[in-house]
Structure 1
Amino acid sequence: MSDMNDRNSGTRAIVTGGAQGIGFAVARQLVAEGCKALALVGRSREKGDAAVARLEKLGAEAIFISADVSDPASCLRAVDEATRRFGTINGLVNAAASSARGSLLETTPDLFDFLFDTNVRGPLFLMQGVVKGLLEAKAPGSIVNVLSMSAHAGQSFLTPYSASKGALATLTKNVAASYRFDRIRCNGVLPGWMDTEGEDAVQKKFHDAADDWLQKAEAAQPMGQLVKPDQLAVLIAYLVSPQSGVMTGALVDYDQNVAGVIGE
């Protein structure tokens, strides 16, 4: 069995949202585990190029592909571009997402469409492109979708977001079941409240949070912290790697709060 330092040495991966937050943490972890071929997909060319430069310093061959994951044509183009550069893509991490706020009564058709286009349609067509390539190459592969603990129900101000993550949970299991005989695995991780640049922006935009919101939030958590991207990235890199064996169709809660528990 390979050790953690080279368990992704044969991985040629696409990571969406790879320029920051969870996505970049995953990309960095994959490189630490031997991945040499890595395509980051996102919107910001400036952030993407900076992320690629950091990964190249760690020894990876990395590229940034500017794409809007809410657009199916952009998703399929990104897979094609990564495949032309690296060969058949055998690892996909769908980390890009929007957590825009909206209660049931506040949700507009535009907000609903935006969240489902970004959080469900995008991952579906990225998976379509990657799975098509794997089937043509008759090669095994691994997909990891980043969901959320909100997929279990979610807070009142996350109605369409929670619904989109619930849809992605079903999609994850469907893809896992559909392609297991082709040795293409698909798993999901459901992180709880996370400490990311994106979350900081959301807290300040939607909740008028003060600069010390993180310190206060972490003090109230059972384990004294929010989920850190580098922690979650180790699990995701394991699921991408062949070391996770036959594991497929799993939805792994990654949180200190347990779904279904009320109060103490």
Structure 2
Amino acid sequence: MQPLLDQKVLLVTGGTQGLGRAIAEAAAREGAAGVAIVGRNAEKAEVALVAIRAAASAAASAAAGAPDAPGAAASAADETPAFEAVAIIADLAVPGEAERVVAETVARFGRVDSLVNAAGATSRGTLLDTSRELLQEHLNLNLVVPFMTMQGAVADMRERGSSGTIVNIISMAMHGGQPYLAPYTASKAGLAGLTKNVAFAHRFDRIRINGLNIGWTATPGEAATQKNFHGAADDWLASAEAAQPMGKLGQPDEIADAVVFLLSERSGVVTGSIIDWDQNVPGAYDQ
């Protein structure tokens, strides 16, 4: 069976850790020709690149029937263009960096076929204690940055006369969220609206743009958030999962599979969809 992202070039913001890294690894397993990940930390980026390249190598070996003979392995490798993964170190909070990471990806690979906006701010704030600076941080990272990366990616796709796909990682908080997520909710609700707007504007360019409203997800970043903002104990994850309908939090690899599906041709004509990827249902009540 043909890989879902056969020979595609993918750009993933926030791709050096957590969900973004899981998406990059999934893309490598599904036949991507190139993956560019964006993050601020060079050490995390190098660790992520090792994992992404390993995922691509394992997938290639499996596709070749995992040949034991070195000559057979080399022959199989000759038939498939070499996979390439690169890291672009950038602080997306700095004006101009979002545009730069798209330009560097195009310069390195010659194109961007798919874009995933997974980077974002997750710090806390209520209506009453959120400063203008904190609000601006959330609006910048969660809305302005995706706006600018989409602008660059769509411009490249249109210039080449090529179709393309984009997935924005949004949040269930866009439906309202908790009181301590006021700036986060505002920015993610804006991203949901932007996703639909851009999907509509570029549907005849055959550029499909969708969003995932992810729920509570078990990532290293979430562990830090729970401890830093909510004083969670070391066993917070076990307690949290026990209270969930499915007995666990969302898993990065599961979300990554959903993202890759939306990026691929297997998701058909779907565009402008904001999908609730969660085990809780907004607007439904026990009593």
Do both share a fold (TM > 0.5)?
A: yes
User: How far is the alpha carbon of 1:87 from its aligned partner?
Assistant: 1.2
1:53 corresponds in structure 2 to: 50
Q: Is the 8 A contact 1:52 1:63 kept in 2?
A: yes
1:92 corresponds in structure 2 to: 115
Q: Distance in 2 between matches of 1:238 and 1:83?
A: 23
**Which residues of 2 match residues 1-264 of structure 1 at below 5 A?**
3=1, 6-57=3-54, 58-59=56-57, 60-263=83-286
Opposite residue 43 of structure 1, the aligned amino acid is R
User: How far is the alpha carbon of 1:242 from its aligned partner?
Assistant: 1.7
User: How far is the alpha carbon of 1:113 from its aligned partner?
Assistant: 0.3
User: How far is the alpha carbon of 1:41 from its aligned partner?
Assistant: 0.7
Per-residue Cα deviation, 1:23-55 (whole angstroms, up to 9, x for no partner):
011111111111120000111111011111222
Stretches of structure 2 lacking an aligned partner (at least 5 in a row): 58-82
Q: Distance in 1 between matches of 2:138 and 2:100?
A: 21
User: How far is the alpha carbon of 1:67 from its aligned partner?
Assistant: 1.2
User: How far is the alpha carbon of 1:72 from its aligned partner?
Assistant: 4.1
User: How far is the alpha carbon of 1:70 from its aligned partner?
Assistant: 2.6
Q: TM-score, normalised by structure 2?
A: 0.89
Q: Distance in 2 between matches of 1:54 and 1:210?
A: 29
Q: Distance in 2 between matches of 1:44 and 1:251?
A: 30
Q: Is the 8 A contact 1:72 1:125 kept in 2?
A: no
The structure with the largest alpha-carbon Rg is 2
Stretches of structure 1 lacking an aligned partner (at least 5 in a row): none
Runs of 4+ off more than 4 Å: none
Q: TM-score, normalised by structure 1?
A: 0.96
Q: Is the 8 A contact 1:185 1:248 kept in 2?
A: yes
Q: Is the 8 A contact 1:45 1:66 kept in 2?
A: yes
- Determine helix, strand or coil for the equivalent of 2:96: helix
